[in-house]
Structures are given as structure tokens and as C-alpha cells.
Amino acid sequence: MGGRNFGSLVPLTPEIVSRNLTPDKTGRPIGGRSFAEFVQIIRTGVDLDHLHPNCAASTASHPCFGPTQPFNGDLLQVMPWPIFQSFEEHDLKAIYEYLKAIPCIAGPETGVLHNDCT
């Protein structure tokens, strides 16, 4: 259900933590993402949850990458999407269907790892 903390890419930048990919109460995995959204995430690396944007695009309450950091905060870090992005659509479908078939795990009561099961 995610939650592995990979630490910061460089000091004083957001910690990179894997996400809770289990289905939510809608039955769709990755906390309710459609297959089209999943394909978009894997093909482009976009972080649709915007958890660690570059500072200019962030609100003060979000951790963010500073303007001098060489990271695109709109993209998933650590996650090996550049390897997965060339998967055939039917392989992505198989992964999506697997993630859809596992039970919802609520995770912590609050925070980004929380998933709404009911």
C-alpha cells in the first residue's frame, strides 16, 4: 500500500514516498483513477496529485522543489515510469486490472497515504 520513504533527492527538498495504489470505495485503483489516467501517469510520469510541485506553482502548505533545484516537481520521482512508459497498452491493462482486484487498504487516518474505503 505504499509508504516507503525514499528520502529527499537532495537535502531540503520534499521526501519521496511511494503511494497507496489500492482501490478506493469507487472500486478503481490508485485511489479512484480511471484506466486512462493510469496510462497517462505511466506514459508521462505526471503526478496528478501534485504532491511536490516546484515552489512557484505551490501553496505555502505544500512541500516543494526550490527554483534552483534541477527537478520537475510535476513529475513522479524515483518511480521508474521512464522504464514502464514503453509498455504495451495490454500490459498496462493487466497491471491496472490486478490493482483493481486487490482489497482497499485505508492506510493512515490522515495524510496522502489515506484511502477512502467506505
Q: Which of 51, 55, 105, 106 binds ligand HEM (CB under 6 A)?
A: 51
SS percent in the chain: helix, strand, coil, step 5:
30, 10, 60
**Helix 89-101 crosses helix 35-44 at what angle (to 10 degrees)?**
120
77 binds ligand HEM (CB under 6 A): yes
30 binds ligand HEM (CB under 6 A): yes
76 binds ligand HEM (CB under 6 A): yes
Distance CA 11, CA 8 (A): 6
Q: Which residues bind ligand HEM (CB under 6 A)?
A: 6, 16, 18-19, 21, 30-31, 38, 41, 47-49, 51, 76-80, 95
